[in-house]
Amino acid sequence: MKHLISAVFVMCVMAMAGGVVFAASNDTITVNYEVQAINELNIDDASVTLTVDSATAGSDPTQATDSTTYDVTTNAGDNAKKITAAINTAMPSGLTLKINMTAPTGASSAGAVTLSATAVDAVTLIDSVSEANIAAAFTLDATLAAGVVASASKTCTLTLADS
C-alpha cells in the first residue's frame, strides 16, 4: 500500500508538472544574404581646363593648375585596390600633364604622377571604403621649347583596379 501511495504521489507531481509546461516544438526558416563585389569610382567634374599663359621673367612658363574631386566605394578588403590614371594619347613634346590624387582614408597617394597613355598608379593600398569629394589636382607644365601649342583635349581615365 505504501508503494502505491508513493507511486500515486510521483505520478501526480509528473502530471502537474506536465500541465505547467508541455514539450516545445520548433521550426526554422533560412535567411540567405549575398554581398557582391562593389567597386565604384566617379570623377565629379566632366572636365578641367589648364592654360599656360604666363611666366616670370627669367623662368620657364608658370605651371597651370586645375582641380576636381572624385568619389570611391569598394568592399574589396584591406589594401585590395588601387587607382590608376592614364590619358588617351601621349602629350605633345614639351608639355607635361600630371595628376595628384589625395588618398581616401587608409590608402596611400603616389603624389603628382605624370600622365601618359600608359596607366600609372595614383593611389594604392585602398581598403574597403566609401568616401566622396576627395581632391584630385591636375597640373600642366610647358617648356620654352614647346612653343605655342594650340588648344587640345585629352581624356583622363581613372581605374579602380586590383592591387
Partner 1 sequence: MKFFEAVLFVCLLSLCVCSLGWAIDITSTGNWAETINAGDLVGGAGTDLNDQYTSASDQVAITISNTLDDNDNWRVDVRKSDTSWHNDLSVSVKRTDGGSGTGAISGGTSFQTAGAVDAEFFNGRGDRSNVHVQLQVSGMSVSIPPATYSTSIVFTVVDTL
Residue choice 42, 63, 93, 108 for contact with partner 1 (CB under 8 A) = 42
3-state secondary structure of 143: coil
**46 lies in the site for partner 1, by CB under 8 A:** no
Closer to partner 1 by CB, 112 or 129: give it. Answer: 129
Residues contacting residue 41 through CB under 8 Å, at least 6 positions apart: 70, 71, 72, 83, 158, 159, 160
Site for partner 1 in 86-105 (CB under 8 A): none
Residue choice 131, 139, 146, 161 for contact with partner 1 (CB under 8 A) = 131
Closer to partner 1 by CB, 32 or 151: give it. Answer: 32
Residues that contact partner 1, how many (by CB under 8 A)? 47
3-state secondary structure of 85: strand
Closer to partner 1 by CB, 4 or 148: give it. Answer: 4
Q: Across the beta sheet with 112-114, what order do the strands follow?
A: 39-43, 64-74, 129-142, 95-101, 112-114
Residues contacting residue 116 through CB under 8 Å, at least 6 positions apart: 86, 87, 90, 91
**79 lies in the site for partner 1, by CB under 8 A:** no
Residue choice 2, 19, 151, 152 for contact with partner 1 (CB under 8 A) = 19
